[in-house]
């Protein structure tokens, strides 16, 4: 049963997040300002309008009064008292005129309120959105300028990471110029780290070159002296036996040194790549290891299938050879078997090596890929292996961009699966 497909959401970039932050803060501030403006305006419009205190007309010529005076704001009405607002000079009130005036003023206030509301809310919101869009655009440009040094750091780190070899490209530096801010200090720290790595890889390369000469030369001389002593006519049986033992120890040391040098070289990514069909490698390695398998009483079964990958043919041959030799040497003795098969699966070249033998605990399998790690009695000095076989396999596979896994066999032994990218 196929489970539900997991959807991975891609997070927005830092530049996009900064732009959204700028634009969001601007819109929030604009909305607050618009709301405060509308509240103040609404408060002002809600105040009671100016009342008409009095409205009089000039008295008629025949009107009498104690003083005979009239004014534009009130009158005595012939009684010597002010005339109330909305009354006529004869003293009669006019409430209809006042109601009409107040109704007209309320209508005017209502019209002004509606117009102001439309202007503030509708048109103000549209203007705020337009200005917010312009502000977001400027925020995008400003964020790009601010983050430009970080993009430079990222591009330099990416070029170093995808260099053809892990120890190449380390000579490149960011060398960021500008004010001594956080980004400048980050770039300088990165340059310092890369410089130290460059010196470390240079030291490793010099060590590999010197070790290749200094370690192999004494072993070669020692083997030559032992062989000369063994081929003398006067050599006794004890000398011959001692010579055989010394030659075995010398051969083991040579394998150990060769394995160390190969491990150091295989940790770097492959520079010269070419199409390689693992089917040809499987057949070639099965033929090469036939003599050792026959001597150990182990049956090697090769099932070469088309599995094309890209890489160094010699290093890929060493992968298959190490796995097959590991299956032969750590088998259950006469009657054991090793099956090596190549195929294509999931768009990748797959190599499987399965062997019989004693059961391997699952918790001990990860340690097998560490240098000089063996199981049980395989740790003795006279062991055929140097304890680097699976370590070299893992380094070469990683350098080719692949993966290697190991699992216990059903009836004992080990199953090793290598997956390499197709070209």
Q: What is the pLDDT of residues 340-393, one digit of tens each?
A: 999 998 889 999 999 998 888 888 888 888 776 655 544 444 445 556 778 888
pLDDT digits (tens, 9 = 90+) for 36-75: 877 777 776 666 444 444 444 444 444 444 444 444 444 4
Pairing of strands 403-408, 414-421: antiparallel
Q: Are 205 and 212 in contact (CB under 8 A)?
A: no
3-state secondary structure string, the chain?
CCCCCCCCCCCCCHHHHHHHHHHHHHHHHHHHHHHHHHHHHHHHHHCCCCCCCCCCCCCCCCCCCCCCCECCCCECCCCCCCCCCCECCCCCECHHHHHHHHHHHHHHHHHHHHHHHHHHHHHHHHHHHHHHHHHHHHHHHHHHHHHHHHHHHHHHHHHHHCCCCCCCCCCCCCCCCCCCCHHHHHHHHHHHHHHHHHHHHHHHHHHHHHHHHHCHHHHHHHHHHHHHHHCCCCCCHHHHHHHHHHHHHHHHHHHHHHHHHHHHHHCCCCCCCEEEEHHHHHHHHHHHCHHHHHHHCEEEEEECCCCEEEECHHHHHHHHHHHHHHHHHCCCCCCEEEEEEEEEECCEEEEEEEECCCECCHHHHHHHCCCCCCCHHHHCCCCCCCCCHHHHHHHHHHHCCCEEEEEECECEEEEEEEEEECC
Task: Assess whether pLDDT exceeds 80 at residue 163.
Answer: no
Mean of the per-residue pLDDT values for the chain?
76
Give residue 13's pLDDT band: very low, low, confident or very high (50, 70, 90).
Answer: confident
Out of 106-110, 145-149, 337-341, least confident range: 106-110
Across the range 328-351, mean pLDDT stands at 89
Q: Which residue has the higher pLDDT, 231 or 268?
A: 231
Across the range 3-31, mean pLDDT stands at 72
Q: In whole angstroms, what is the distance from residue 248 CA to residue 51 CA?
A: 122
- Residue 381: the pLDDT is 44
Task: Assess whether pLDDT exceeds 50 at residue 152.
Answer: yes
Task: Assess whether pLDDT exceeds 70 at residue 94.
Answer: no
Across the range 323-345, mean pLDDT stands at 88
- Residue 46: the pLDDT is 67
Q: Which residue has the higher pLDDT, 193 or 81?
A: 193
Task: Assess whether pLDDT exceeds 90 at residue 416.
Answer: yes
Q: In whole angstroms, what is the distance from residue 349 CA to residue 316 CA?
A: 12
Q: Which residue has the higher pLDDT, 286 or 72?
A: 286
Across the range 157-170, mean pLDDT stands at 67
- Residue 405: the pLDDT is 92
Give residue 221's pLDDT band: very low, low, confident or very high (50, 70, 90).
Answer: confident
Across the range 212-235, mean pLDDT stands at 83
């Amino acid at each position: 049963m196929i489970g539900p497909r997991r959807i991975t959401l891609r997070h927005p970039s830092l530049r996009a997040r900064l732009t959204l932050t700028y634009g969001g803060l601007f819109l929030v501030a604009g909305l607050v300002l618009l709301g405060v403006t509308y509240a103040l305006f609404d408060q002002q419009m809600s105040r009671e309008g100016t009342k008409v205190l009095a409205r009089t007309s000039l008295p008629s010529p025949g009107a009498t009064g104690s003083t005979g005076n009239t004014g534009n704001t009130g009158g005595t009405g012939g009684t010597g008292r002010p005339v109330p607002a909305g009354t006529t000079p004869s003293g009669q009130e006019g409430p209809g005129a006042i109601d009409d005036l107040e109704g007209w003023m309320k209508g005017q206030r209502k019209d002004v309120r509606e117009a102001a509301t439309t202007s503030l809310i509708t048109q103000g919101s549209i203007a705020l959105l337009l200005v917010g869009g312009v502000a977001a655009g400027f925020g995008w440009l400003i964020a790009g300028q601010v983050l430009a040094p970080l993009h430079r750091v990222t591009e330099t780190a990416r070029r170093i990471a995808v260099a053809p070899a892990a120890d190449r490209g380390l000579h490149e530096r960011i060398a960021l110029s500008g004010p001594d801010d956080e980004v400048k200090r980050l770039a300088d720290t990165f340059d310092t780290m890369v410089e130290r790595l460059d010196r470390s890889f240079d030291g490793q390369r010099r060590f590999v070159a010197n070790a290749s000469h200094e370690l192999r030369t004494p072993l070669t001389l020692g083997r030559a002296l032992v062989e000369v002593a063994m081929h003398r006519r006067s050599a006794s049986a004890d000398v011959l036996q001692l010579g055989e033992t010394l030659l075995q120890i010398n051969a083991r040391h040579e394998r150990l040194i060769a394995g160390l040098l190969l491990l150091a070289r295989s940790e770097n990514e492959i520079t010269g790549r070419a199409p390689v069909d693992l089917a040809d490698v499987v057949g070639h390695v099965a033929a090469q290891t036939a003599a050792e398998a026959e001597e150990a009483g182990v049956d090697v079964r090769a099932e070469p299938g088309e599995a094309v990958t890209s890489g160094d043919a010699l290093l890929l041959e060493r992968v298959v050879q190490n796995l097959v030799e590991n299956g032969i040497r750590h088998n259950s003795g006469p009657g054991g078997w090793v099956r090596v098969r190549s195929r294509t699966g999931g768009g990748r070249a797959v190599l499987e090596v399965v062997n019989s033998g004693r059961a391997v605990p699952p918790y001990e399998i990860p340690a097998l890929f560490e240098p000089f790690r063996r199981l049980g009695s395989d740790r003795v000095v006279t062991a055929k292996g140097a304890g680097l076989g699976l370590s070299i396999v893992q380094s070469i596979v990683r350098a080719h961009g692949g993966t290697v896994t190991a699992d216990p066999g059903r009836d004992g032994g080990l199953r090793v699966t290598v997956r390499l990218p197709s070209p």
